[in-house]
Structure formats: C-alpha cells, structure tokens
Structure 1
Amino acid sequence: MDTIIAFFENLTSLQKFFWVAGCLSLFWILEGIYPLKKHQYNKWKHAKTNLILLLSTIIINVVFGILTVGVFIWIDANNFGLLNMIDLPVWIEIILAIMILDFTSQYLVHYMLHKIPVMWRFHTVHHSDTHVDVTSGTRHHPIDFIFRETFALLGIVIAGLPVSYYLMYRILTVLFTYFSHADIQLPHFVDKTISYVFISPNTHKFHHHHTMPWTDTNFGNIFSFWDRLFGTFVYKDTKDIVYGIDILDAEKADNILYQLKAPFKKDLKSAEYKA
C-alpha cells in the first residue's frame, strides 16, 4: 500500500496526460467496434469542438492545481478534515476519500448545475451535444468547469485529504467520465449489473436525453448509489434516448463560438423551464 501511495504522490503531469489520452483513445476505438448508436456523423468534426473545450479545462486545471497545493499544505499544517479526526486503515481511508469527493465534486455540484438557473446556463453546453461519445466527457463550458473544481476543493477540505488520495480519485474520475460517455454497447446484463454500484455507459446516456424527466437523472460519475439514495436514478430502454437539449440550437452543437456564448443569451430558459 505504501508503494501505491508513493506512486500517486509523485504522479507527474506527463503521466496524467498519458492517462487522459490513453482513456480517450481506448474508448474511441471500442465505440468504433461496439457502438451503442450507429455513427451517422463526422466523428473528427464532432471531436474538434469537444477537444477545444478540453483545452480550456486543462488551463483551468493548472490554475486550480496551484490553489490545491496551497490547500493541501494548509490541511497538513492544521491537521484539518474528517480523515484527520479518525484513525482507520489506509485502504478504508482511500475508499472514504473517493466517496466523499465523488459526492461533493460530482453528484452534488452536478445536481446544483441542473437546479440553480445561473449554473444551469453554463451546464447546457455539456448537454447540447447531439452525438454523445467519449469526447463528450471533455465538453464543459469553462465556467461550468470552474464550478466543478470549486466543489472539488470543498471536498478536499471536508475530508482533509492527502494529495495521494486526491490523485487516486482524479485518475478514477477520468476513467469513469470517458467510460460513461463512450458510445459503447455492453451486453445488457453486464451494463445493468455494473449500474447497481457504478455509473455504466447506458446509465449516463439517459442523463443526456434531450427532455425532462430523464435530463434530471443519473447525476453520479463513479458511484450510482448516490442517485439511488436520493431518488434520481433511472434505467430504461436506450432506444428511446435522443441526445441534445431542447433549449439550444441543435444545428450549432459543434459551433464552438455559439457554445461559448450560449449561456449569456438573455432568452435562454432556466432549469425550471426545461420540458
């Protein structure tokens, strides 16, 4: 266990980059072999918009990375956070850390992105994708991503995490983000079984349906039991899913300038008016 912790403590930016690129490439290949929906669109043109948005999140990540280092130093100096109040085996601490971060920086903030009108405006960019595939996991308006990273910092402080636990979580969340967005068709019983604990590809696709009520379901990223616990879980027939969001122009789903400016439109309906 000490070896694993030491590895994550010394994880380099290059290693993290290769992990992101590797996960993207793996699921890109798999969705070409086992697609959930037939690819009747230009995947490279579609990916361009999402990868440009990925570049913006990488820049934001650098800024928040500096803030995060300061937070870790403060936590260590003040012995602050839940994990510093109790003495547990390391493997249990790691599981608790991942659960706390998955709840605060994924489920909770994602729920708020749908329920708070000003936050929803920026989150519509993620939902405006009319062809959900692995690159859709990178599709976040910069301000949407700032909301997410702010809640990640909150989770770090609440839990009192060491940097190694946090980086374990980040590695896992990258994997599950691309796994759940990938346009792959697993055998139904496999996907269904996975969905009892984790967010499976089918599970997340309902969240990307273009109208309510499915739009406001399956908010989790790693674990599905948050949705089950709070009554936001759904699992139906994927054939009924239509991607996109009905309050933005579907024909401009791949127009990067339109997507960046859309949240500032005065006539954009708020979350409470989605129908």
Structure 2
Amino acid sequence: MNDIINYFSTIPSLHRSLILVGGITIFWLIENSFPLFKMQYKKWPHAGINFFFTFTTIVVNFILAFILIRTAAWTIDHNFGILQWLPQMPIWLYTIIGLLLLDLIGAYLAHLVEHKVKILWQFHLIHHTDTWIDTTTANRHHPGESVVRFVFTTLGVLIVGAPMWMVFLYQSLSVIASQFNHANISLPEKLDVFLSYFIVSPNMHKVHHHYVLPYTDSNYGNIFSVWDRLFGTFTYLPKDQLIYGVDTHMLPEENNELKNLLKIPFQKSRSFKNS
C-alpha cells in the first residue's frame, strides 16, 4: 500500500497521460474483438469528435490543476475534512473510504446535479447525444461541463479532506472506470450483473445512455455502484432494448457534427419525452 501511496504522491504527468491513452487503446481493442453491438458507423470520424472533447477536458483540468493541489494541501495543513476527523485506522480502509466519498461527490453528485439543473444539463447533454456508445464516449464532455466537473471534484477534496496522492489515485481509477463502462464490450451476463453490485459495469451504465426517460435519469455512478443502489437511482434494462442517444437530439446533424455540439448549451432547451 505504501508503494501505491509513494507512486501517486509523485506520479509524473506523462504517466497520467499514459493511463488515459492506454485505457482507451486497451478497451478499443477489446470492443473490436468482443463487441456488445455491431454498430454501423465510421469509428475513426466518431472517435475524432470524442478525442477533441477529450483534449479540451485535459486542457481545462491542466489549467485549473493548481486549485486542486492547493485545496488538498490546505485540508492536510489545517486538519480539515472527513478523513482528517476519523479515528486511526488501517491505511487500506482509509483509502477505500476516501475513494468512496470522492466518487460520491466528484462523480455521482456532480452527475445527478447536471441532470436536475437545466443550465448544467445543456452542457452535459453533449455527452448524451452520442448514438454510438464506445470507449471514446467516456471523455465526450463539453469544455463548460469539464469546468463544472472540476468544481465538484475540488468540493469533494475539500469535504473529504483527501491528500493529493489519493486525488491522483481517484482520478486515475475514474478515467479507467469510465472508459470501461462506456466500452462497447460484451461481458457474460452473470459476470456483468455480479460486477454491478460493486462497480459500475458496462451494461449498468449503458442503461443511462438509453434515449428516453426515466432511464436517462438513472445509474449516475462512475466507479462504485453502491451510491445508485443506496439512493434509489439504480435501474435495469435488457441490453436488447437499448437505443443510444437522447430523444431531443436524434438527428445526425445535431449529434454528430462538432460545431453544433459546441453550440448546444447556448441553444433553446428542449423537453424530454417519457418512455
């Protein structure tokens, strides 16, 4: 455990980039060999759009990183946050509790709020417009949403009182988990169900990308599935009933053109239909 702490305390930016690129590459190869759906689309042009948003997400987080670093340092220096107020415990338990809480605030809560607050939904909508969900979809976030996500992550670090090594560990696991649960991979049904009791499995998250309510407003988790089950937002839908996208933007010129995707947050909002 100490080796993990030491590594993530000083993890080079290159290694963090390799985690991002390596994860996409691995899941890209797996989904090509064992696809959940044989989707009729041009994979590279589709990936190009999602890679653009991946790049803007990296830029936003790089520019604002100093805020996250200073926040983590402040919590430790001032003995502030949930982890700092807990009694002495084994480091592995301390780490699990910290990761669970960071995931609750930085992922689950952020995602839930984006669905419930109209102006934030307009930015998050770009992620849901993808009608071909694969591992590249994981990072399909409008730059405005990247800022919102960063704010929630920073809030999580402050409330949890997480040291920077734990933040880097959380972010690395979050990237891999998102690439995994978005990947167009076919897992044995029983294995996927088993995994969904602990982490967000591919089939569990795909339900969130079904094009109509109430499924769009469910399964908000990223790493751990416990929060959806605990707060009653877990939903199941057989994979053969899944239709990707969002019913307000099903036309290709709306969901598969970069210029329009960048403009969506500033366009007039549209109302969902229930299934």
TM-score, length-scaled by structure 2: 0.96
Match of residue 113 from structure 1: 114
C-alpha separation in 2, matches of 1:69 and 1:63? 12
Distance 2:69 2:166 in 1: 13
Residue number in structure 1 paired with 2:262: 260
Give distance in 2, aligned partners of 1:242 and 1:72.
41
1:19 equivalent to 2:22? Answer no
Match of 2:188 in 1: 187
Between the aligned partners of 2:251 and 2:109, the Cα distance in structure 1 is: 28
Q: Which structure 2 residues correspond to residues 185-264 of structure 1 after superposition, within 5 A?
A: 185-252=186-253, 253-264=255-266
Q: Distance in 2 between matches of 1:104 and 1:231?
A: 16
Say whether residues 1:43 and 2:43 are aligned partners: yes
Matched residue count: 272
Equivalents in 2 of 1:184, 1:16: separation in Å? 24
Indicate if the aligned counterparts of 1:83 and 1:93 stay in contact, CA closer than 8 A: yes
Q: Percent identity?
A: 39
The verdict on how the C-alpha distance between 1:206 and 1:114 changes in structure 2, with shifts beyond 3 A counting, is: same
Name the counterpart of 1:102: 103
Deviation string for 1:162-186 (max 9, x for gaps)? Answer: 1111111111111100000000000
Residue 139 of structure 1 is matched in structure 2 by: 140
Instruction: Structure 1 unaligned segments of length 5 or more: list them.
Output: none
| 1:52 partnered with 2:52 | yes
Superposition CA RMSD, Å: 1.1
Secondary structure of 1:233's counterpart equals: coil
CA distance in 1, matches of 2:104, 2:73: 23
The CA deviation string for residues 37-56 of structure 1, in whole angstroms up to 9 with x for no partner, is 10310000100000001110
TM-superposition CA deviations, 1:209-231 (whole Å, max 9, x none): 11011111100001111111111
Q: Is the 8 A contact 2:102 2:157 kept in 1?
A: yes
Does structure 2 retain, via aligned residues, the 8 Å contact 1:130–1:243?
yes
List structure 1 segments (4+ residues) > 2 angstroms apart after TM superposition: none
Q: Distance in 2 between matches of 1:238 and 1:144?
A: 28
Contact 2:72 2:164 in 1 (8 A): yes
Do the aligned residues in 1 keep the contact of 2:34 with 2:185 (CA within 8 Å)?
Answer: yes
Q: Does the Cα contact within 8 Å between 2:76 and 2:84 map onto a contact in 1? A: no
Given that 1:130 and 1:250 are in contact with CA atoms closer than 8 Å, whether structure 2 keeps it comes out as no
SS of residue paired to 1:75? helix
Per the normalisation by structure 1, the TM-score is 0.96
